[in-house]
Amino acid sequence: MPAPRVAPEAKSERAVIAGMRAGDGHTWEMVYKRHYAELVQFGASYVGRSISEELTQDVFATIWQKRETWDPLGGIRAYLFTAVRNRARNALAHGAVARRAATVSGAVVKSSSECAVEVELTLLAGCGDMPEENRLVVGLRSIGMTYAQIAFVVDKTIKSVEHDAVDGVRWLAQRITHRRK
């Protein structure tokens, strides 16, 4: 009986998971350094950078402690993003940190064109107004996550994620088009 086919990516990820379970320091360093920055950046959109750094360290520490039985359904990256997101949402739910509002740059924008200044402020404000679910999915797509990975993070079907991604971009395009008229 032939061995079951395994996608190359899945096979290498299984090897990485095996290395992490075994507590191999080089594997841990690779995974940590590959994902730490994007996880902190992702969590910062909820709770700010400082808290996000703590949450991300906690996620890795928790995985380390239970590494021997760790089984990341959905893959390593999706698991990590889910864990950071859950911790960030818990922190917000318990009032531990104020929700990070969509911000408009407070810095003086030096430009010879008033029109350019208006555009920059509007750009920053526009993202914050996007519906939360769309914003999340569009944001994760912008850092290269697949529909399947995002579906795991947001606990939705892949088809729903596709719709959220497309709807988010369309919403933004319509907003910009309306402002330009």
Partner 1 sequence: MTPDDEHLDPTQIDWVALDKYISGEASPDEQAAMRRRIATNPALAEVLATIRSLHASDDKPSPSDVASAWHAFRLRAGISDSGQGAMKAPPHARSQRSVRTLTLLSAPTKRSIWPRAAALLVVSIGALGTWRVVATRSLHHDSGPTFRATFSTGRGERATVDLQDGSRVSLAPETELRVASVGRRAYLTGEAVFFVKHDPTSPFRVFAPNGVAVQDIGTRFDMRAYPEEHTVRVAVAEGSVALQGDTLPNSMTLARVTLDRGSIAVVDSTGATTVKHQASIDEYLSWASGRLTFTDVRVADVLDEFSRWFDFDVRLGDEALADQRLTVTLDNVPPDVALDMIARAIGARVVREGRGPVAVLYSRARGSTHE
Q: Give 74 or 139: the residue with its C-beta nearer to partner 1.
A: 139
CB of 145 to partner 1, least distance (A): 7
CB of 51 to partner 1, least distance (A): 10
Q: Give 4 or 94: the residue with its C-beta nearer to partner 1.
A: 94
Long-range interactions of 15-22: CB distance < 8 A, separation 24+: 16/76, 17/70, 17/71, 17/72, 17/76, 20/63, 20/67, 20/70, 21/67, 21/68, 21/69, 21/70
CB 149 within 8 A of CB 81: yes
Q: Give 27 or 160: the residue with its C-beta nearer to partner 1.
A: 27
Q: Give 38 or 82: the residue with its C-beta nearer to partner 1.
A: 38
CB of 174 to partner 1, least distance (A): 6
Residue found by looking up tokens 């369309």 in the block: 170
How far, in Å, CA of 144 to CA of 138, rounded?
A: 10
CB of 152 to partner 1, least distance (A): 15
Q: Which residues bind partner 1 (CB under 8 A)?
A: 23-29, 32-33, 36-38, 40-42, 44-45, 49, 52-54, 56-58, 60-62, 64-65, 119, 123-124, 126-127, 135, 138-139, 141-146, 162, 165-166, 169-170, 172-174, 176-177, 180-181
How far, in Å, CA of 103 to CA of 124, rounded?
A: 7
How far, in Å, CA of 22 to CA of 112, rounded?
A: 59
